[in-house]
Amino acid sequence: MLKVFILSILLSRMPHKLDKETWPERVTRLDKTAGALDSAIQRATCEGQGEECKRSWRGNPKVLAKLMITTMIHESALAQHVHENRCYLKLGECDSDRYYSKAQGKWIYYQKAFSLWQIQKGDDISSEDWAIIKRGVDGTEVAAWHATRRMASAYRACGTLGGAISRYARGNGCHIWEGSKERMVYYYALDKYSKRRLEKRTAAAKTRSEKQNPNVD
């Protein structure tokens, strides 16, 4: 099952240094994320979607899963505060921008990118869906779909994995930029993760999480 693969990778990642959730809370959040991504990939490939479904991804579903995992790891590091829309805007997180308010006499910072996939608003996302995406964790399912749809579209436009990664991240063109090279290295490394290695990495991640945020009953 694809969700099992996705979740095994997510849980094997070390918690972000600013994460405040306990290990059980982290498992719950990432399980929801894995489920949302699995559903989005099924929708993109029309698996169990009915005859009216139009496929946006005709390749191997696992390839798309690895692309989306790679993207969220590099866009947000699975950080809890990013997922919950508590980005450090003055530090440039979540593609933040600013404007000067004469009325308030100060710079106002605002968030432009949302979700673990750091999606920005475009004409391809309805106002209704955008409002859901901006809910943070509660908007994960809708965010996963639009991120997956955009990645599939980027691959159709570019025809290569590197081009798709670049187009998703930068918004236009298929030129391989420096950042996409690092992402491709991570993408191919996912194939080398044995079950035993994932279990060891997950155990280490759990230990780190429990030290950062002890589960106090």
Greater pLDDT, 191 or 217: 191
> What H or E segment, with its residue span, contains residue 100?
strand 97-101
What pLDDT digit, counting tens, does each position of 33-88 carry? 999 999 999 999 999 888 889 999 999 999 999 999 999 999 999 999 999 999 99
Range 24-27, long-range pairs (CB < 8 A, 24+ positions): 24/215, 26/80, 26/209
Element of type H or E holding 108: strand 106-110
101 strand-pairing partners? 106
Q: What is the mean pLDDT of residues 100-115?
A: 95
The reply to whether the predicted model has a pTM over 0.85 is yes
Residue type at position 209: S
Q: Which residues of 11-46 are buried (b: 16+ CB within 10 A; e: fewer)?
A: bbbebbeebebbbeebbebbebbbbbbbbbbbbbbb
Output the DSSP codes for 169-214: HHSS-----HHHHHHHHHHHHGGG--HHHHHHHHHHHHHHHHHHS-
- What is the Cα–Cα distance from 124 to 189, expressed in whole angstroms? 32
End-to-end CA distance of the chain: 34
Please state the rounded mean pLDDT for residues 114-136: 96
The Cα 170–Cα 147 span in angstroms is 13
Is the pLDDT at 217 greater than 80? The verdict is: no
**The total number of residues written for the chain in this structure:** 217
> pLDDT digits over 54-67, tens only?
999 999 999 999 99
| Cα–Cα distance measured from residue 161 to residue 149, given in angstroms and rounded to the nearest whole number | 15
Residue-level pLDDT at 199: 95
- The whole-number average pLDDT for the span 107-130 is 96
According to the model, what pLDDT value does residue 32 have? 98
Report the C-alpha gap between 57 and 164 in whole angstroms.
Answer: 12
The whole-angstrom separation of Cα 205 and Cα 166 is 29
pLDDT band at 154, cuts 50/70/90? very high
Regarding predicted confidence, which is higher, 107 or 1? 107
H runs (alpha helix) in the chain: 2-11, 23-45, 61-76, 80-83, 127-133, 140-158, 161-170, 178-189, 195-212
pLDDT at 46: 94
